[in-house]
Structure 1
Amino acid sequence: MTGARTHDSAGIGIIGSGISGLQLALRLQQLGVAATLYSAQTAEELGSTRPRNFPARFAPTQAREETLGVHAWQHDDARVHSWAITIHGEDADLEFTAALRPPSSVVDFRLYLPHLLDEFIRRGGDVRTGPVAVDEVGRRHGLVVVANGDRSMRDLFPVDAARSPYPTPQRILCSGFYHGIREDVPHRLDIHFLPGIGEILRIPFLSRLGPAHVLAFEAVPGGPLEPPAHLDAAADPDGFHREVLRLLAAYAPGLRERVDTAGFGLVAPDELAQGGVTPAVRKGWARLADGTCALAIGDAWITNDPLTAQGANLGSHTAFALADLIASADGPFDAAFCRDASARLWEHARHVVEWSNAFLAPPPPHVLGLFGRAAGDRQVADAFVSRFHDPVAMWGVLSSPEGVDSFVKSCT
């Protein structure tokens, strides 16, 4: 670790204790850059909320955690080793399985985030807990980084319409931690693509209450998968579970057959997330009232639908990239620095955004063709699923027929 260096004694103010804010704080700490983390919640409070998301962390994110010395839960109860993919069709279903190498890490963020926050504090990190005003943080620091996508921060970074094609949620979500589902193959994820209807996913996951299954409905708005998102599972658990099982029987019958009806249910009444996510890219930086500049990362900057499982991984990548830019900067953290930093972060992020947005639309013929090749060739299937580790390479494949052709040739 190098000696502490800052552009002024105030250092960097980081607002938000999600993966982006915490990894940025830890990385700056490692690089010797003074930073203060502003968290709305204590570590204990971060671990006691309802679930908000169910992130898979791919190999590059895990490697960054190794660099930070915070990579934990290195056992199979917290890993996904393979995927089973079904694309449902009118005449026949297209199915294939594939290995995910290396495996992804699937840990409840109510375990993960407190672990990172506690480690930052243990290493001497400065944490301020409670409500915070961004202008007040700006008066204390040479640069503010906002990694908190709460409504209180959204006015500061308006939506960038040119990079945000969807004005409303493209999926209505209902995801929760369940027990009572049998795994045919241990540590395998199931995903069912239902064109025009949405997606159903089952993911083995390490929840704060122990090993569980995430069962997620991603419903096209107004479609038949949407009803569970509007039911009160705590008020009428039997009715909620009946509706979930009805939809599984209708749209993922193979998965329904693996459910033990008597033992099926949420692991606890509040272990459920419901709602919609509007994919959006916001302006990447802003000038505060006193002239201090604020950069947006994480949910303050980009919100992706969770279908491609890239949100946490993009947050981690952005945190490390920004830490390097801050640590190597020679001049002030002014508008020129923020404009350049945001542009450089977008060079990677745009691939994630374009891929995630494209996956919400019906697949074009060249992507359907790739799925067909994957169903007939395990090498193609394994290579395709493992591309989820690298969104830049993945979008290079999926964005054009030429990309698919080149990818298939490289596999065979």
Structure 2
Amino acid sequence: MSIGVVGSGISGLQLALCLQQLSVPVTVYSEHDIDGLKTGRPRNFPARFGRTQQRERELGVFDWDFADAQVRHWAVTAHPGEGEPPLRFLAALRPPSSVVDFRIYLPHLLSAYVDRGGELITGEHAPENLTARHDLLVVANGSRSVRRLFPADPDRSPYTTPQRVLCAGIYHGITEEVPHSLDIHFLPGAGEILRLPFFSPAGRADVLAFEAVPGGPLEAVCHVDAGADPAGFRRRVLDLVAEYAPGLRERVDTRAFTLTGPGELAQGAITPVVRRGWARLDDGTCALAIGDAWITNDPLTAQGANLGSHTAFTLAGLLADTKAPYDEAFCRAASARLWEHARHVVEWSNAFLQPPPPHVAGLLGRAAADRRIADAFVSRFNDPVAMWRTLSSPEGVAAFVADCETAAPAPVGAQGG
């Protein structure tokens, strides 16, 4: 029995490390070697919640248990609409999330896999050329060359165009009102502005991100060539923050505000999509999709890395418990099992891209008035199944609020700032 894992993102590497622990033979095929994963532009800015960190501890690869790599509070500002005052609350995230640049994180995981005797083969590899070596291929690489194996599933992919255009960079020169906190501003019709502490190759810094509704007032900055016109780009960023998040703008030191280095910026657009979970190759070998090869969610709910980790562990257990064959029946059943969890993440992430329904808007209002509700709401990002159970219906919100109100007395000064 032998498994080939194509891709060296969080899904592929956690799967490989878990299979190692379970004594299942596995080979990782990575476009880059360990040093190559440390270079290049930032591609994403993942937040790994408590359950993902626990899985990393079980793998022996969690190495960032310090304050500069943590988010401990969320400062949420929701702008209801024209002429209405914004809702604001500060909430404790328990346990804290871990915010580590993947150019640090992924080489660490790949090094652990290799140091433990794992086989790594670098370069570009088409899955069709690897089948002779393995009983099953698991594709965790979302590149165009492998996406053709896994066409979009229209029943699970309600969007055919990007719902947000992204512009996110790593900056110096932003201070925090509350240490180790994330700021998020929900702007109806415009999108979202986020600031979060981030442990980057330059050390502790801050990510400032615009998630722009296409055609809205935040979108233009997402298309500015920061390398060709750094001063113009910087000016547009500061002007937008001043207009839409003035409290955040007050914490920007104009003299120190700059990207941490050339190219420390990610711009682009993502169309949320769920692809078919498996494919049968010409020689009869099957390929199973996970990670970016299977599901692409908008990053607004910060679930991508966490879904990838959960999927990797679940699949590793299925592989270890199955003696073979890894045929179409296995792949179909495995993909269905993985979807039992993933669908909650997908449905929640897709719903968050639309204006909040009344019951969700009401929940934010309750959070602004009661710290117990605020803390529980933010901490539920660690449990997407429970979160979607809460947000998907008025009954879910009512039950959640009732649980919060009976759990403990409201703390003094319950309202957030």
TM bracket (short chain): over 0.9
What is the letter of the counterpart of residue 171 of structure 2? Answer: Y
After TM superposition, give the deviation of residue 331 of structure 1 in Å. Answer: 3.1
Among all aligned residue pairs of Structure 1 and Structure 2, give the percentage whose two residues are the same amino acid.
69
Root-mean-square deviation (CA, aligned residues, Å) is 0.6
Partner Cα separation in structure 1 for residue 37 and residue 168 of structure 2: 19
Q: Structure 1 stretches (4+) deviating beyond 3 angstroms?
A: none
Q: What is the distance in 2 between the residues matched to 1:362 and 1:139?
A: 49
Shift of 1:245: 0.3
**Alignment match of 2:79 (pick from 79, 88, 95):** 88
Query: Do residues 323 (structure 1) and 323 (structure 2) align?
Result: no
- Looking at structure 1, the residues matched to 188 and 399 of structure 2 have their Cα atoms a distance apart, in angstroms, of 26
Secondary structure at the counterpart of residue 186 of structure 1: coil
Decide which of 97, 116, 122 is 1:123's aligned counterpart: 116
Partner of 2:54: 63
CA deviations over 1:127-175 (Å, ceiling 9, x no partner): 0000101111112110000000000011100000000000011000000
Which position in structure 2 is the counterpart of 1:46? 37
**Alignment coverage as a number of residue pairs:** 403
SS of aligned partner of 1:221: coil
Partner SS, residue 95 of structure 1: strand
Instruction: List gaps (5 residues or longer) in structure 1.
Output: 1-5
Amino acid at match of 2:122: T
CA distance in 2, matches of 1:73, 1:377: 32
How far off is 1:319 after superposition? 0.2
Q: CA–CA distance in 2 between the matches of 1:196 and 1:397?
A: 24
Q: TM-score, normalised by structure 2?
A: 0.96
What is the alpha-carbon distance in structure 2 between the residues aligned to residue 325 and residue 53 of structure 1? 29
2: CA distance, partners of 1:141 / 1:331: 12
Partner residue, 1:167? 160
Q: Residue 411 of structure 2 aligns with which residue?
A: none
Deviates more, 1:258-267 or 1:121-130: 258-267
AA partner of residue 174 (structure 2): I
Q: Determine the structure 2 residue equivalent to 1:232.
A: 225
User: 1: distance between equivalents of 2:252 and 2:210?
Assistant: 16
Report deviation, 1:330.
Answer: 3.0
Distance 1:210 1:121 in 2: 26
| Equivalent pair of 2:153/2:276 in contact (CA under 8 Å) | yes
Match of 2:14 among 19, 23, 30: 23
C-alpha displacement of 1:182: 1.1
* 1:128-207 equivalences in 2 (<5 Å): 128-207=121-200
SS at the partner of 1:273?
strand
Aligned to 1:73, which of 64, 71, 76? 64
Distance 2:201 2:185 in 1: 26
Matches within 5 A, 1:359-370: 359-370=352-363
Structure 2 CA distance, aligned partners of 1:237 and 1:197? 24
The yes-or-no answer on 1:37 pairing with 2:28 is yes
- C-alpha contact (below 8 Å) 2:79/2:188 kept by paired residues: yes
In structure 2, distance between residues paired with 1:34 and 1:140? 11
**Structure 1 CA distance for aligned equivalents of residues 323 and 124 of structure 2:** 32
Is contact 1:237-1:269 (8 Å) kept?
no
Distance 1:102 1:54 in 2: 19
Asked if the contact 1:88–1:94 (Cα under 8 Å) also holds between the matched residues in 2, the reply is yes
Q: Distance in 1 between matches of 2:329 and 2:279?
A: 11
What is the deviation of 1:49? 1.2
